Amino acid sequence: MKEIIPNGTNVLIFPKNDNEELKFIKGVIISSSTSCDLAYHGSSWYEQIYKVQGEDGRIYTGTYGSAIIGDFYIRTFTDYLKHIIFLIKRNREKIEKFNEENSILIETLLSLISSKKEENKNLGQDYSYHSGYGSDSEDIAERLKGFKYNPEDKEKILSYYK
């Protein structure tokens, strides 16, 4: 059986919709009870059902961690902080993956620009005039080499374009 959170504990109340896990209301547990057996077959399954008074004065009913019973669920502050840290780590991993993908795309872009330039030179054409890949494109390609977004550079980047 899961540990029962005592009455008087400060918690966060979340709506059932998982897409809104950043929207919550602070509340205090005022009572709890054990559900009837929720199992359809097999081993017994019980959940603790909490009544929580939200800071908005409403009484919310729900279970811990997910909305198994009711339209709300609760989490302790400590567990929610752990969850936020997990989300930040996951987002950083995604950013790193995107940066790796961008590096590959930039290398491909540079390779194609270089190939097109050589192709036009071999045909005796003035690459920058006829092909549309003039010095602006070369400048952009050069600036993209090794590009990696760093949030601390935001102000510097924005001031460059003002």
- 8 A C-beta contact, residue 52 and residue 115: no
Structure tokens at 119: 């192709």
What gap in Å lies between CA 8 and CA 23, rounded to an integer? 22
- Rounded-to-10 torsion of CA 76, 46, 62, 49: -80
Q: What is the chain's percent helix, strand, coil content, to nearest 5?
A: 45, 20, 35
pLDDT along the chain (162 residues), means of 10: 82 79 86 68 76 92 77 88 92 93 86 73 55 60 69 68 58
Q: Which residues pair with 74 in a beta bridge?
A: 13, 64
| Predicted pLDDT of residue 11 | 95
| Predicted pLDDT of residue 157 | 65
CA atoms within 13 A on the CB side of 61: 8
End-to-end CA distance of the chain: 60
| Predicted pLDDT of residue 125 | 55
The reported pTM is: 0.55
